[in-house]
Structure 1
């Protein structure tokens, strides 16, 4: 029996995604006045596609059967926004949008960490025998 289910791995990947997004948003805000700086963002599709693929499990009855889980799952991908300019100096950072994304990411992180905490509390309850 596996102690940590796919839920724990999914929540861990969600926290990693939120951490990467926090770093990218912070970098964008820090460089909001840097000439010719192009804003970056975290590519959600690659992150969630990798998560869905990694959560699929299969039972192989023969070694010649293909496995459903990819061997080279990647984390989040950081993409630079090109051909966008908000300032006269060539900068593409929209500070209002970045601050909104920062707040949304904080809410997302809090929700995921609360869920992870709840999973650990459930495990603790089971270990203590429900007392």
Structure 2
């Protein structure tokens, strides 16, 4: 059995591949920031929230409040943190819709996510090495 056969490592590898591809798309958007009629591109995200809602609805999983001191579910519609602001898009006179600041933010978030996955991979490999008696 190799490390590539472990589902956790497969998932982390797939996420890292996605982030690598996304970084290329962001770089392309930045490179074309002055190209007339160019529209910024973005990879389609996997919506884990909808998958969770589907499973939650099927199995009817709910938060249980058994003591008055318990916190309630964060899915309360009256909770203002759940309201998402609508993204506005700017278009330059030449028809270009790339917002360079937005792309730089996307690149930074992408880099942070990639670093997180790299650290998780390193920590999990370290745990396997420790379990096999080869750890530090």
Give the shorter-chain TM-score range: 0.5 to 0.7
Map 1:16-55 → 2, pairs under 5 A: 16-45=17-46
Secondary structure in structure 2 of the residue aligned to 1:43: coil
Partner of 2:131: 126
Which structure has more strand as a fraction of its residues? 1
**TM-score w.r.t. length of structure 2:** 0.63
Deviation at residue 107 of structure 1 after TM alignment = 0.6
**Corresponding residue number in structure 2 for 1:86:** 91
CA RMSD of aligned residues (A): 2.4
Bigger radius of gyration, 1 or 2? Answer: 2
Aligned to 1:68: none
Give matches, 1:49-64, under 5 Å.
none
Runs of 4+ in structure 1 off by over 3 angstroms are 1-4
For structure 1, list consecutive stretches of 5 or more residues without a partner in the other structure.
53-83
Write out per-residue CA displacement over residues 29-49 of structure 1, whole angstroms, 9 at most, x where no aligned residue.
Answer: 000001111110010037x69
Contact kept, 8 Å, 2:127 with 2:135, in 1: the verdict is: no
Q: What is the CA–CA distance in structure 2 between the aligned matches of 1:130 and 1:27, rounded to whole Å?
A: 41
